[in-house]
Amino acid sequence: MKLITRLHSVYWQLISRYLDKRQPATEQVTLVQKLIFILPTIYGWWFLLLISLLYLLGTNYQNNLILLLSYFLLLLFLFCIVLCYQNLSGLTVRCTTTATGFCSDTLDVELTLSSNKQHVLLQINLIDQADVSITVKQQCKICLPLPANKRGKYLLPRVRIFSQFPFGLWRGWSYIALDQYYWVYPKPDEHANTINNDNIGGSQQTKTAGEMLSPYSSGDSLRHMVWKRLARDPLNPVVRQQYSSQVEPSWVVIPKASGDALEQALSKACFQLLALEHSGTQYGLKLPQLTVAQSSGKAHLTRCLQELALC
């Protein structure tokens, strides 16, 4: 089993080198002749064997009807090559959105397929992933599953498109390399139900609002005057004033660590970043070699998560 896995790995490395030279990664790829490969399927080889047997039978018995049948089947067999090629040729594939997710999740890679003609009975997938059947009419979008096993930033694997149109005698396929990356963030620690004070700097307060009493000064509105208290103490008038306490900015700190300790710290930090963003608190991120300034918002959260993925 290990030998087969090893041979498969070596084989795919050789194929990848050949494909990298033939079609480097680009933002979008249009299938043309040099990118489409066609070979007979198992049924195609059996069909070709049948044609050979019919030809030998017709030759031995000098039966023109059998010879005519063998010629017709051979013509059909060769014509299927053209149909299979035309079904793939001209298809444009591009990926405009960056897939993101957490470790142990399955990412959705969104691809846009377009063409000026119809393409039927297509199978599309990422390398070593499940196939998805589609039919393209001018333009369509499709999401391909991609398991996220390890945090980091990765180049999107090659997209394989293949078809056995029209009769399953020939198999045409293409391996497409798109210049697009995807991000895998650390998995949030579900057990970190509370913010860890050891990893966060700054005080953590709750937004509160209320009223307070203060001595009356010139310019204060009479509507805020506490008349009942003024009746008891006419010499010391007081007014009501609104106040609110805002949440102070916080820091999420990643200590110097390695191995499992680092992964646990990143998981906790990921949960803390999501919690702080949800609460509307301004927060920053301190890494051993980098500091992300305090802010809030979706773009800031994405920046912090990306730094965790690359830590």
234 and 295 belong to one structural domain: no
This prediction's pTM = 0.76
Does pLDDT of 173 surpass 70?
A: yes
Helices (H), 62-157: 64-88
Q: Residue 112 pairs with which residues in a beta bridge?
A: 94, 141
* Segment among 5-9, 201-205, 233-237, 258-262 with least mean pLDDT: 201-205
pLDDT surpassing 80 at residue 220: no
- CA 153/CA 274 separation, integer angstroms: 20
Residues 6 or more apart from 273 whose CB is under 8 A from it?
Answer: 252, 283, 285, 301, 304, 305, 308
135 in the same domain as 230? no
Do 89 and 33 form a contact (C-beta atoms < 8 A)?
A: yes
Question: Is pLDDT of 205 > 90?
Answer: no
Residues 241 and 154 in one domain: no
- Shared-domain flag, residues 153 and 290: no
Same domain, 240 and 253: no
**Rounded distance between C-alpha atoms, residue 219 and residue 233, angstroms:** 20
226 backbone dihedrals φ, ψ, rounded to 5°: -90, 95
- Phi/psi-derived region of residue 138, left when phi > 0, alpha when psi is between -120 and 50, beta in every other case: left
Average pLDDT over residues 159-181: 95
166 and 271 co-located in one domain = no
Nearest C-alpha neighbor of 88 from the set 65, 137, 48, 122: 122
241 part of a folded domain:
yes
**Of residues 253, 250, 249, 247, the one with CA closest to residue 198:** 253
Reported as a single tens digit per residue, the pLDDT across 221-270 is: 666 777 777 677 777 777 776 544 444 568 999 988 888 999 999 999 99
- Reported as a pLDDT band with limits 50, 70 and 90, residue 31 is very high
- pLDDT for position 243: 46
d(CA 99, CA 239): 56
Nearest to 249 by CA among 208, 205, 298, 209: 205
Strand partners, 108: 145
Residue 98 lies in a domain: yes
Residue 53 lies inside a defined structural domain of this protein = yes
49-69 tens-digit pLDDT: 999 999 999 999 989 999 999
The rounded distance, in Å, linking the Cα atoms of 45 and 30 is: 30
Q: What is the domain extent for residue 66? A: 20-185
Mean pLDDT throughout 293-302? 93
- pLDDT, one tens digit per residue, over 88-141 is 999 999 998 999 999 999 999 999 999 999 999 999 999 888 899 999 998 999
Assess whether 120 and 216 both reside in one domain.
Answer: no
Residue 195 has pLDDT above 70, yes or no: no
Which whole-number Å values give the CA distances from 217 to 224, 238, 240, 244, in the listed order? 12, 9, 12, 21
Q: What is the DSSP-derived secondary structure letter of residue 255?
A: -
